[in-house]
Amino acid sequence: MHSQFVARRSTAKMSDDSPPTSEQFNRLQELFEKTFKAARVGIWECSLPDETLTWTDTVFELFDLDPRSPLRRDDIVALYTPASRKDLGRIRSAAIDEGEGFTLDAEIVTAKGNRRWIRITALVERADGRAKRIFGMKQDITAEKAMFDHIRRLTEIDPMTGLASRAKFESVFSDVCACSTGAVHGLLLVDLDGFKAVNDALGHQAGDACLTTAARRLADVVPEAVLVARLGGDEFAVIHACPSAQHLEEAGHRIVNALAFGWGSFPNQLRISASVGGAIIANGAAPKDVFAQADGALYRVKAEGKCGFRRSADSQIVAERRAG
């Protein structure tokens, strides 16, 4: 068995060292082309400075164009969405100037009106210090993009209530805190009072339905909120434009009123209410500090008997400073 193994290895090595025949070369080229076509990958080239385009058939397919169609770069660039067209122009110009390649995911609207995402890979060839041509691959990534968008949406939406998830809240909250210009915003933290009794007396299925109802009531009463999120359990958060401490208080009291309702059937109906704490988001404040202020105000409400709103002690000062 050992001698047979050595013989096979020796034969394979001799074959590897031999130059490919024209038949082998044609077969490999055919496999190469079929693989690229199956992967929806095409080759493109643009000569410089005359901007003459050359495409393989797959690139024509990506843009829903007949392979016999004339190629004018201005016409092709017009098929990119405005945002992708801007990105492509900026990155391509920099690549030509610097001689560096790039990769860009861009959205197009094809000649037949189909929206499609393509991944552009580009290399720049230079001669005598000047860009001579830019070339590379274009690949259809529409399915990949849809899958990642779906995954992203799953992480950004609370599956039970349909509100934003905690991860989405933290992202938006950080952005709002970091913003140094524009409208003043406030953070409102909401805890449901009496929710544990629903789970204990009526079961978790009734508890889930109660949470869904509370989430809908909360979203309905702050329709212009930047974000309404479920942080977990029976805890919610609202980011809302608040030009003044008074606006923050008005929003807080609307939430308290909206989340006062009965749950279950008479005579075993349970009362649900909400404790709400609010804080104005200071210019460039650390998210943890703003959250702590709103959380402190929320626990003041809890300590005072629940079912009410309080704002942090610093909110009036912050609002006046931002307004001024």
Does the annotation mark 234 as catalytic?
A: yes
Q: Which residue has the tokens 């749950």?
A: 263
C-alpha neighbours within 13 Å on the C-beta side of residue 195: 25
Beta bridge pairs of residue 137: 43, 121
Distance, CA of 193 to CA of 209 (rounded, Å) = 15
Contact 242, 184 (CB under 8 A): yes
Phi/psi of residue 84, nearest 5 degrees = -70, -35
**Burial class of 84 by CB neighbour count within 10 A (0 to 12, 13 to 18, 19+):** buried
The single-letter code of the amino acid at 240 is H
The one catalytic residue in 158, 191, 193, 234 is: 234
On the question of a cis peptide bond just before residue 49, with omega within 30 degrees of 0, the verdict is yes
Contact 298, 231 (CB under 8 A): no
Q: Which residues contact 146 (CB under 8 A, 6 or more apart)?
A: none
**Parallel/antiparallel/unpaired status of strands 227-232 and 130-140:** unpaired
State both tokens at 247: 């606006």
Give catalytic residues, as residue numbers. 234
